Chains A and B, each alone.
Chain A
Amino acid sequence: MSSGIRFDRVSVAYGRHTVLDALDLTVEPGEVMALLGPSGSGKTTALRAVAGFVRPASGRVFIGERDVTGLPPHRRGVGMVVQQYALFPHMRVEDNVAFGMKAQKVAKAEIPGRVAEALEMTGMASYAKRFPRELSGGQQQRVAIARALAIRPGVLLLDEPLSALDAQLRSGMLAELARLHRELPDVSILYVTHDQVEALTLADQIAVMDRARLQDCGTPQELYRTPRTEFTASFVGNANLLAVTVRGTGAVSFADAELKADTGDAVSGATATLCVRPHLVGLGDGPNALTGRVAEVQWRGATHRLYVEVGGERVKADVRELRKPPALGDEITLHFAPEDAVLLAGGVTDG
């Protein structure tokens, strides 16, 4: 059974505080949609509206063709995995996984087979007799995923599933989730996260949320290479946002420098934002050169991050590890290729 999710102008408010503002979003059947945003952006609220734990003030939520807006959670048929796992501590792993099937009165003879199958899929088959307290965080999360998959949901909701794990485990689980999705191509997944790497790795589509609103939606490549808003540009990939003035076709001015960039249909004389990824900025002279003073140097192992003061703005540059990093206050020149810059119409607002 494959079914997508559709938000039709869904608003959620607590008292007079709107936490989700007229969300329109469609998750196609079998697709992984990441809801990406900082905390308080409304992404978890959106997920909880699908699960049925918050009632929208207005708008409809559809799972497949079914309007589930008024349905209680237990009649929605979604699998859900949350950050803190929420495994039932008084049940063994196998009983946790069997819980949904028993609650839905699946034929008794069928349950053990499906429990084994779900545990096999998440690599937890040999832990069936353990209690949750006897498992590590990563193992508990696998059991939680097995428990959600055992009811064979058309829709899987993942609410920051990897946030409680350490960095190494997280990248391992990320690969596991990608594999699970390949093995279960019919399951639509709504994946809430504040981590852009998780979203870029896993998602077919990313919906960027901020301040209760949907800011941007597109494939990871679109959002990363050609962001449409400043928020997206800075939140996904932490881009430099330079306040520039358009100077005719293919040219903008920033501080005292003339820069080449694709200006699209921007009008000459208009203010706009030029968005450049820090890792695409190089050291030394070249096209689109910017000269300024080094304000801060951070060594990150494989790379150095330089903050360079250019015309009153800080430009970030991630360069390959330097033998001799520049000292603070040194005057250095940076450059970037014109095709690596994206011009966003309208001035820099914030972020």
Chain B
Amino acid sequence: MLVHSRKGKWAVWSLFLVLFLPLFALPLLVILAASFSSHWSGAFPSGFTTGHYTAATRGESLQALTTSLVTALAASLLALAAGTWAALAAASLKKGGKRAVDALFLLPVAVPSVVVGLAVLVAFSKPPMILNGTRWIVVLAHAVLVTAFAHQSVSAAIQRLDPAYEQAAASLGARPSYVLWKVKLPLLLPSLNAAAGLCFALSMGELSATMMLYPPDWTPLPVRIYAATDRGSTFTGAALAVVLMAATLLVLLAVSRVRTRASYR
């Protein structure tokens, strides 16, 4: 709600700060503080140390980070390709067909991710498709979970795309495939980029489906964080969480830099 009087603005700002700080910012700050601490007896952690980071950035933890990055990258690329393809295909369908495709791609969001994880596990544990126990099942599950977001944001962008560009290109003698590669995809690039960032971030943080699927040699970082806190190593878990957060933010930042270059207007 927009407020225009000066007093009203102050009131809204203070309400916002009262709600936002404790709910959004404070927990993250506490995690950050905990990751640098060695004791936690009072209200806040104390005793400065960087020891947890030494542990969190080598050995199995480092491997978990790369596992997470590779999984997220692969899953978001897969999701982007599938989601974009489906959105482009759906855009050329009639109303009924388009609605069916949209509904199909909304399924993984509507269904709890634990269920998606279980479903993928059950489906690919018997011949002829045995993916259970391989890293591919994790990548596949992540891709399934995030494709919905890719599909949704790309199909919204396609709807906003002025058909005049496509028609101008066609009238100049460009075949549909040429129009797709030289006109439509470049114009959709900012949205594709945003979708990629979203998929990446979601996949980096995915835990519930991953828990059901991950093989011992492919442990993503969220699973390690969960394991660490589960056995009571809060500080290690906090350090790992900060590493996960920082890695995700860095990638998102890089992606958004590409996006500003790609937006032409």
Contacts and interface: CB of A to CB of B under 8 A. Distances in A.
A104 B167 CA distance: 15
B265 interface: yes
Chain B contact residues, majority secondary structure: helix
A133 B172 contact: no
B171 A79 contact: yes
Contacts of A144: 168
Contacts of B173: 74-75, 77, 100, 103-104, 151
Contact of A99 (B164, B174, B175): B174
Given A74-B173, A133-B265, A90 B167 contact: no
A80 B169 CA distance: 10
Interface string A203-243: 00000000000000000000000000000000000000000
Given A131-B264, A133-B264, A82 B168 contact: yes
B187 A86 contact: no
Nearest to A73: B170
Nearest to A82: B164
B162 interface: yes
Contacts of A148: 171-172
Nearest to A75: B173
A73 B171 contact: yes
Interface in A148-186: 148, 151, 157
Give the bracket for the number of chain A residues in contact with chain B: 20 to 34
Q: Which of B162, B168, B174, B186 has the most CB of A within 10 A?
A: B168
A116 B176 CA distance: 27
Chain B: interface residue count, which band?
20 to 34
Contacts of A74: 170-176, 179
A76 B182 CA distance: 20
Contacts of A78: 171
A299 interface: no
A67 B41 CA distance: 87
B178 interface: yes
Contacts of A72: 170, 176
B90 interface: no
A348 B165 CA distance: 45
A87 B169 CA distance: 9
Contact of A100 (B162, B174, B189): B174
Given A88-B183, A90-B186, A90-B264, A151 B172 contact: yes
Contact of B264 (A51, A52, A89, A99): A89
Contact of B169 (A76, A79, A99, A131): A99
A84 interface: yes
Contact of B178 (A86, A103, A133): A103
A86 to B, nearest CB: 4
Nearest to B174: A103
Given A79-B171, A80-B167, A80-B171, 18 more contacts: A72-B170, A72-B176, A74-B171, A74-B172, A74-B173, A74-B174, A74-B175, A74-B176, A76-B171, A82-B164, A86-B162, A87-B168, A88-B183, A99-B172, A100-B173, A103-B178, A147-B172, A151-B172
Interface of B: 162, 164-165, 167-176, 178-179, 182-183, 186-187, 189, 264-265
6 contacts: A53-B170, A72-B176, A74-B179, A86-B164, A147-B172, A151-B173
Interface of A: 51-53, 72-80, 82, 84, 86-90, 99-100, 103-104, 131, 133, 144, 147-148, 151, 157
The 5 A-B residue pairs with the shortest CB-CB distance, nearest first, are: A100-B172, A103-B174, A86-B164, A73-B170, A80-B171
